[in-house]
Chains A and B, each alone.
Chain A
Amino acid sequence: MTPVPVAPLDAAIDEVDTHPDDEPIAPPPRRLGIPFSPWHLVLIPITFLLLVPLLWMLITSLQTSAETQKFPPQLLPSQPRWHNYVDAWQAAPFGQFFLNSAMVTFVVLASNLVVCSLAGYAFARVKFLGRGALFVVLMATLMVPFQVTMIPVFLIVKWFGDNVWEGLGIDHLGALMLPNLATAFGIFFLRQFFQTVPVELEEAARVDGTSRLGLLFKIVLPLSLPALSTLAALTVLNSWNDFLWPLIVITSTDQMTVPLGMSYFQGAHVVQWPLLMAANVMSLLPMLLVFVVAQRYFVQSVASTGVKG
């Protein structure tokens, strides 16, 4: 992830999707004498074009192999072949891939929320020796592209596997978790949010003798759920869809994550498009679900921070 200062965008973030859908910004023109806004005639084709790749994936996933070997292609399967999904599921250890991705994503998510909250809170609220310098150094790592660090990180992870615990080493799921347990971005993001929480709330509790951790968990975090959700949405998506790092450290099929497994599966089933597309649909579903459910947090995360991948 690379940071880009987006101060000018901040003003706009709050505006995203705050217009109720049915409150007109300007009176809709009705000059064409049709009972709906002419903009639908623009938006339907645009949306269709954007969705063609996904629709075509869905259609192919229900065709027979013979149907995919026609030119021009048959646009709709004569009879949807749902069994492609069963065949695809059995053609590769997809269950394992999903489990691996779920475990990695869960551990990375939980760790990021806890570690970044603690650090973000300290940077926002606690005065300690070296705070300013430490913060600058941490933020500087955000400027470094992953390609610069990936070779030494590979060597460090290998060292952990050889010297600390095998499960953290090369070709183990731990190698996918370990380097991603905390991000400078998460710390920065939460610190910014924590700073907007009124400090008076904490001062009152502090007089009552609540500890720093108590303040964080009882007062600040409950008020920071939108920020935590946004960070969570982003972390899940990045972790689940990550490809380059798993490609580098994982070689055994039983340790592969979904994207790596899909790529491997594609290499082995090069011409069986219906199976490939069925597998593709299945691999896409979890993130599609997460995305639709948490859409506003993704919108917020992009609008406020502009980070993907």
Chain B
Amino acid sequence: MSRRERLTSRARSLRSTFLPTDTATGWALVGPGVLLIGAFGLLPVLLSLKLSFQKSDMLSDGTPWVGVDNYRKLVDDPLFAHAIKNTVVFTALFVPGTMLVGLLVAVALNRSLRFITLYRTAAYITMAVSTITQGIIFMWLTDRDYGLVNAALNEIGIGSQPFLASPSQALLVITAMTVWGWTGFTVIVYLAALQGVPAELHEAAAIDGAGPITRFRTITVPLLGPANLFLLIYLTINALQLFDEVYQTTRGGPLQATMVIVYYLWDRAFVQFDAGYAAAMAYSLFAVILVITAVQFRLSRRFTHYS
């Protein structure tokens, strides 16, 4: 920007800043949104922090201050530790699993063919399925006695599995069904990224004698960097907040094998009415998510290639 341009733009911004009606108009326009988000987005963040230092059952008026007791209890709560462990296991399986399935499907779908629109719609459609519908379908698919999956396992000689009824398998079933539910979303992200890979690069490499696998490895994969990073963070944040699927299928059982952080939090707050403790738990989760987001900002600056 030249000095002259800078001055002109400054003059222009000064001119519009000093239009007397603008502040009134501006606030009038943002008013409804600010009030609503203030009341249901901003104020609760502060109230929640306050609540995490109190004891409250959300019904009676007395909410005595208890200092950092809630946080101290959290550190010694074996069930919370167990919920963290389950959440971490779930996240570690779900995030790479979804990314792998999504990438494979997206690569297969990234071509011009007859009926490709139909194939794509079929892949995207899991996005429209609610977590509850999904949970009910998978309960039936993995039914111990009459489930389709057990029929298939018997067919190949493995034999029936208890699945959701088994402490060692329930979390795996929930992982599989959550991966299925997120496939549509992930495929859309990867397909958008794949279509952003310039065809000329592939053509040039092909002329130089690079085979399809070499081209995928040396051209496509590096250019998928931003999509990978985005999915890694976004899926992780969502995995840490797993709730619906667990509520619908196992309610944290059997033997607390699928007790995850948010399910425990909900149970503490809205079943046992221990709101202060649950708020402390929520703030701990918040801190973890913030750290992950911060790490993402760092990584995205270092590893992302902008073309």
Which residues of A pack against B, CB within 8 Å? 2, 4-6, 8-9, 11-13, 15-26, 28, 36-37, 39-40, 42-43, 46-47, 50-54, 56-57, 60, 68-73, 115-116, 118-119, 121-123, 126-131, 134, 137-138, 141, 143-156, 158, 178-184, 187, 212, 237, 240-241, 243-244, 247-248, 258-260, 262-263, 266, 273, 276-277, 280, 283-284, 287-288, 290-292, 295, 298-299, 302-303, 306, 308-309
Chain B residues positioned under 8 Å from A147 (CB to CB): 241, 262, 265, 282, 285-286
Chain A residues positioned under 8 Å from B45 (CB to CB): 141, 144, 148-149
Distance in angstroms from B112 CB to nearest chain A CB is 5
The stretch from B1-9, B73-81, B139-147 touching chain A is: B139-147
Complexed CA–CA distance, A60 and B225 (Å): 42
**Residues 1-37 of chain B, each 1 if its beta carbon lies under 8 Å from chain A, else 0:** 0000000000001001101001111110110111011
B137/A53 in contact, CB under 8 A? yes
Chain A residues positioned under 8 Å from B122 (CB to CB): 47, 50-51
Interface size class of B (residues with CB under 8 A): 35 or more
Given known pairs A15-B192, A128-B23, the reply for A154 and B290 (CB within 8 Å) is no
Chain A residues positioned under 8 Å from B161 (CB to CB): none
Which of A118, A129, A184, A290 is in CB contact (< 8 Å) with B32?
A: A118
B26/A151 in contact, CB under 8 A? no
A283/B33 in contact, CB under 8 A? no
Distance in angstroms from A153 CB to nearest chain B CB is 5
A115/B42 in contact, CB under 8 A? no
A4/B25 in contact, CB under 8 A? no
Q: Nearest CB to that of A298 among chain B residues?
A: B127
User: B41 an interface residue at 8 Å Cβ cutoff?
Assistant: yes
Chain A residues positioned under 8 Å from B192 (CB to CB): 9, 12-13, 15-16, 299, 302-303
Complexed CA–CA distance, A294 and B73 (Å): 48
Chain B residues positioned under 8 Å from A23 (CB to CB): 112
Which residues of B pack against A, CB within 8 Å? 13, 16-17, 19, 22-27, 29-30, 32-34, 36-37, 39-45, 47-48, 51, 58, 104-105, 108-109, 111-117, 119-134, 136-141, 143, 145-148, 150-151, 154-155, 180, 182-183, 185, 188-189, 191-193, 195-196, 199, 202-203, 225-227, 229-231, 233-234, 237-238, 240-241, 243-244, 247-248, 262, 265-266, 269-270, 275, 278-279, 282-283, 285-286, 289-290, 293, 296-297, 300, 304, 306-307
Chain B residues positioned under 8 Å from A247 (CB to CB): 247, 266
Complexed CA–CA distance, A144 and B128 (Å): 24
Given known pairs A9-B226, A16-B192, A156-B39, the reply for A36 and B114 (CB within 8 Å) is yes
Q: Nearest CB to that of A263 among chain B residues?
A: B132
Chain B residues positioned under 8 Å from A258 (CB to CB): 130
Instruction: Supply 22 A–B pairs (Cβ within 8 Å), ascending by A.
Output: A4-B234, A8-B304, A11-B307, A12-B195, A15-B196, A26-B111, A40-B115, A53-B137, A116-B33, A119-B29, A126-B29, A128-B26, A143-B290, A151-B51, A152-B48, A156-B43, A248-B266, A273-B146, A291-B125, A298-B127, A299-B124, A302-B127
Which of A21, A22, A25, A148 is in CB contact (< 8 Å) with B48?
A: A148
Q: Nearest CB to that of B123 among chain A residues?
A: A50
Complexed CA–CA distance, A277 and B139 (Å): 11
Chain B residues positioned under 8 Å from A5 (CB to CB): 297, 300
Chain A residues positioned under 8 Å from B115 (CB to CB): 40
Kindly list the 8 A-B residue pairs having the minimum CB-CB distance in the complex, ordered from nearest: A128-B26, A8-B226, A12-B196, A119-B33, A152-B44, A122-B29, A152-B47, A149-B44
Chain A residues positioned under 8 Å from B147 (CB to CB): 73
